[in-house]
Every structure is written in C-alpha cells, then in structure tokens.
Structure 1
Amino acid sequence: MGLTRLAGMSPPAHRLLLVHAHPDDESIGQGATMAKYAAEGRGVTLVTCTAGEMGEILVPELEHLAADREDGLGLHRRGELAEAMRELGVTDHRFLGGFGTYRDSGMKWHDDGHAVAADLVHDNAFWHADLTAAAAHLVEVIREVRPQVLVTYDEFGGYGHPDHIQAHRVAMYAAQLAAVPSYRHDLGEPWEIAKIYWGAMSASRMRAGLRALRESGDTTSFEGMDPDGPLPPFITADENLAAMVDAQEFHPHKMAALAAHRTQITTDGPFFALSNNVGATAWGIEYFRIVKGRPGEVNEDGLETDLFAGVPADH
C-alpha cells in the first residue's frame, strides 16, 4: 500500500524513493540509510524493477529454482525482499509495473572485468523494455508518493549490469516526465523531484577496508582488489562524492537485510567479512553523488549528512 493511500493519515513530511534493479541491490547500496530514515518516520519507498530471476543461487538445496530448471527463483526472491524490508522497517516496496512485469535480463562478464548483457536475453527482460512504457509505470509511483529525493544508479549501473543501466535510464527519464504538467494526466498530478542522487562507494573507505581485510589475513574477500591499486568502476573518487549518511546505528539492520537475501549473499562472504574486520563504518556509512538539486548544509569534509538537506518538508 502506498504512502499516500493510508486512509485518514497524512503522508510523511520527507519522502525518499529508491529505484533498484533486483532484490538485494537495495540492501547492499542503501540499506542503512533506508533503515535510518524509516526509523525517523520519513517515508521510504522502494521500487524494484525485476525479481532477479537470473541470479546465481548460493543455497544448494534451492538450486532447483534456477532459471534453467524450475524457474522459480523470482518468486522465492520476492519473499527474501519482503523479509529484508521487515529488517529495515520499510513498509512501502513495489515491483515496477507490478510483480512479473519485467524479468531479470541476466548478464555475463566482459574480459575487461565489468558486466554486459548475456548472449541470450528473455523476450520479457527488463533490458528489452520500452523506455517510455517502463518510465510511465514509475511516473505513476512518483506522482502518488511525491518524493523530494530520488536515489538510483549511475549511468553505468555501478558495474555494467544491463538491468542496473536500464534502472538508471528509467528512473532518470521518469523523474523528468513526472514533472511535465501536460504528460499523462491519467497518471496523477505532476510532481518535480527536488533532489536526485546516484548511490556511490567511497574510494578512501574501500581502500581502508581492503587494507584491514588483508592485514587480518583475508586474501579472498573482494579477490583481485588491491588496496593500493586501481579500483573497479563502482568505486567513486572521494572528490566526486556529495553526501554521506551516517547510519552506523542501523548497521545491524543492514546486515540482517543482507542475510535475508540468502540465495544471493552468504554470511561468510565479502560483505560480512568487511563488516567483521572494519566494523559498522564499513557498511553503516553510505555515500552519494548529487545529480539534481542544490546541496544543503555540509560537514567539515564538504559532504551533506542528510539527503533532505535544504529541501523544505512537503515541497
């Protein structure tokens, strides 16, 4: 049920919309921020574009759900997402166009180390979605929820996954269309999102975390990443960061949400290894690049500490 549809209740004064490609992306990228804002009574709406039907299954007893067998992973991951949202305290989470509208496109690894589209892509894959049609689904959500802040991926989707790239395109296009007074009156009253951010990971924080891992004797987590060498494209140079949300208090909630996505993430995997070696700062502080809007008040490092900084409530 949407934030503005609860009978007899006013919507929260501050409202955040996140657009992600698959279940688990949200918990990895902004799980702590989501938990913090939900606990503060701010509106948090998650739109997930696919059910992650093509994901790798890390639980042996669930391998029968794979796309090339029973093809039941998407429905299972729907349940994992619901559990993760309970851990984060988020009650408004939806699938773009409704569950099953768009299918996970799958991916393969390019020789250069980033993801690209797979050789075979399902006809209903999100990568093949008509951009205007997909954006219209999101426009309806934007006009209903009326978020002041939108968070999604950068133009490369972090690491090149076609669904991440498509989610970026849909989110950015929908944000523009939602504000057009003459566009699709049937989708609701126009609404302009005041601030847009792309999720990011701090290069300096990642290097510090990798050093702590290596010094602890862990040479397998984030294998191939050298704390003093080149970093992959999903890591952002600190000078390009605009905001950081310190939600270390909600670090346990983020870890619990990650654990809920058990077909995709293992508790002995790199996310938990980094957390164990660095502590709450590893995943409890989340970073962002600003795309639209004027930055509000900043800290001593020149970073906003609240994504709603400078935005009047109920803008």
Structure 2
Amino acid sequence: MLFGVPGRCVLFVHAHPDDETLSTGGAIARYAADPSVRCVVVTCTLGEEGEVIPPALRELAPDRADQLGGYRIGELAGALAALGGPEHRFLGGLARWRDSGMGHGEGTRAVALPDLHPRALTAGDLDLQVQQLLEVVDEVAPQVLVSYADDGGYGHPDHVRAHELTMAVARARPVRVFHAVRSRSVLEAGLAGIRDLPGLPFRFPEPDELPTVPDAVVTTRLDVSAHRDRLVAAMRAHATQVAVWEPAYAMSNDVAQPLLDVEEYVLATPGEAPADDLFGGLA
C-alpha cells in the first residue's frame, strides 16, 4: 500500500442483489476489512424477477406492482454496509440490465425461460456487456476476479452470463479468476449440524437436492468464521429473498441451508492455487 492507497484489489461479479452475500459474503467481509485491499462488487441486474418471501411485500413482485428491483437496491445497500462497505457498481449503470428470471428444474436447479424481457441480461449483447465490465476492471485494476462456475452454481441463466462475462475479461486482462462453489463434504457437515435442531422452520433438503461440487475440484478455502455476524446481518438485509433462522437460512423454496464458516473456491485461471487467500502467491 502506497500513501494510504490499497495495493491490491478484488472484484466480485454477481448476477443479482443477494448473490454477493450468499455466494461470497464472507470473502467480501474479509477483504473489505483489510486496508491493503480495494474490494469492489459488480451487480449485473436489480433482481426484478425474484420471488418475494414476506407476505407484506409480495405486491412488489413482477406479476403485481413490478417494483421489486427498486426495493432491492435498498436491500443491497444495507447488505453491503453490513459486509463492511465495499465499493459497488451496477453493470452498465443502474437498471441497465434486467433480471432474466428462471424456471424451476430438477430439485433446486434453475432453467432458462422461453420468453425474455427486452432488457433481460441474457437477451443483451454479450460483447457490449463484456465492454461494460472491462470499463470497471480498467478503472479499479483488480488482481483477482470472483464469480461463478460455468453452470452458474445452480443453472440460473444470469449466473451463467456473469460467468461468461468474467471469463471473457480474463482473456483480455491479466487477472486471477476464482469460481465460488460449495463442496459436498462441507455442505453435508453443515446439514448434519442443523438436521436435528428443534423448531427448524424450513424443510430439510432431500439427498443431493442442494447443488455441490466434488471435493477434489476445490482449490481454495477461506475461514470466514470471524465474519459470521456481518454475514448474517447482510442476509437479513435481503429480507425479500432470504429467511434467516440461525444457524440456518432458506430462500423462497423454504429449503434449509446451513450457515457455513468456510467459503470454497476453484481457481479458474492458470497458476498455483492458493490454499486460504485469494491473493496468495501474488506479488
């Protein structure tokens, strides 16, 4: 760090408000708290097509008042503040791209919808979106980019597009890319910890209902236990999308998921994979 200016930068690229918290909230909190790191989050859409959990807010939904996207701007601001205040950008500017929505496939898998809004992220020009992300990359000069694996984690088309954008940037700029994942063993251990909790208000998942990756593909694990309080506060900020009952949470599908003290990543660009630090081994 030179004269108070952070010498390292990590850029998280996410599809919708709440993804930054659910996929990488611990890492964001960790690096936002490090004065030597510039931590930046890009959100591609406002999440307009999300399903709304609290009954009092369901008129915001896209098939009713269609005001959910604007409401989620405030939720995102609250979550980012809870995570330590990383910098934030919307891809192409505020509300440039709309949530593409999703259909429901097997288990908790998402599938693409046959009809898209004209401003839907996945209906947009990929080259234009790459250029918009490159503008952010050239502004903040990250050494590390973080997004999703090629299936978007669970198949959501906007997550897949965020992956495509991130990998296109990695071909154009010298950056290290990580994909946020969750291994079978870590998830199973977390589920074991909540299985027999009295009063669990969510449905316990069926075997293999929640998406995981084989343990062998994970390259990097971050201990984020010190940031649990920040992560839970950020989840609570996304009240339209996440219901929290510590040590568990659920989305609108009401499937219980454990709050985990470890975040897992796969190094997606050439080089030696760091064990416990996204910047590990970088000069």
| TM-score in same-fold range (> 0.5) | yes
Post-superposition Cα deviations, 1:234-261, rounded to whole Å, max 9, x if no partner, equal: 3121111000111211011001001000
The yes-or-no answer on 1:258 pairing with 2:229 is no
In proportion to residue count, which structure has more strand? Answer: 2
CA distance in 1, matches of 2:114, 2:273: 45
- Residues 198 and 290 in structure 1, CA contact (< 8 A), matched pair in contact too: yes
- Residues 142 and 175 in structure 1, CA contact (< 8 A), matched pair in contact too: no
CA distance in 2, matches of 1:268, 1:305: 28
Alpha-carbon distance, 1:9 to partner? 6.9
TM-score scaled by length of structure 2: 0.90
Post-superposition Cα deviations, 1:150-196, rounded to whole Å, max 9, x if no partner, equal: 1100010011101111111111112323x3xxxxxxxxxxxx21x11
The yes-or-no answer on 1:13 pairing with 2:3 is no
Give the secondary structure class of the aligned counterpart of 2:6: coil
The yes-or-no answer on 1:198 pairing with 2:179 is yes
User: What residue ranges of structure 1 are gaps of 5+ in the alignment?
Assistant: 1-7, 180-191, 298-303
Alpha-carbon distance, 1:51 to partner? 0.3
Higher Rg of the two aligned structures: 1
Q: 1:169 to 1:222 in 2, by over 3 A?
A: farther
Aligned 1:277-292 pairs, distance under 5 A: 282-292=259-269
Partner of residue 28 from structure 1, selected from 13, 22, 27: 22
Q: 1:296 to 1:55 in 2, by over 3 A?
A: closer
The yes-or-no answer on 1:51 pairing with 2:46 is yes
Q: 1:49 to 1:9 in 2, by over 3 A?
A: farther
Alpha-carbon distance, 1:231 to partner? 5.5
Alpha-carbon distance, 1:266 to partner? 1.2
CA distance in 1, matches of 2:10, 2:229: 21
Give the secondary structure class of the aligned counterpart of 1:267: strand
Measured on the aligned residues, the alpha-carbon RMSD in Å equals 2.4
- Residues 255 and 272 in structure 1, CA contact (< 8 A), matched pair in contact too: no
Give the secondary structure class of the aligned counterpart of 1:18: strand
State the match for 2:62 in structure 1: 67
Alpha-carbon distance, 1:123 to partner? 1.1
- Residues 246 and 285 in structure 1, CA contact (< 8 A), matched pair in contact too: yes
User: What residue ranges of structure 2 are gaps of 5+ in the alignment?
Assistant: 251-255
Partner of residue 93 from structure 1, selected from 63, 81, 88: 88
Aligned 1:163-242 pairs, distance under 5 A: 163-177=158-172, 179=173, 192-193=174-175, 195-216=176-197, 221=202, 223-226=204-207, 230=208, 232=210, 234-242=211-219
Letter of the 2:62 counterpart: A
Aligned 1:75-90 pairs, distance under 5 A: 75-90=70-85
TM-score scaled by length of structure 1: 0.81
Q: How many residues align?
A: 276
- Residues 45 and 90 in structure 1, CA contact (< 8 A), matched pair in contact too: no
- Residues 190 and 260 in structure 2, CA contact (< 8 A), matched pair in contact too: no
State the match for 1:267 in structure 2: 244
CA distance in 1, matches of 2:277, 2:74: 30
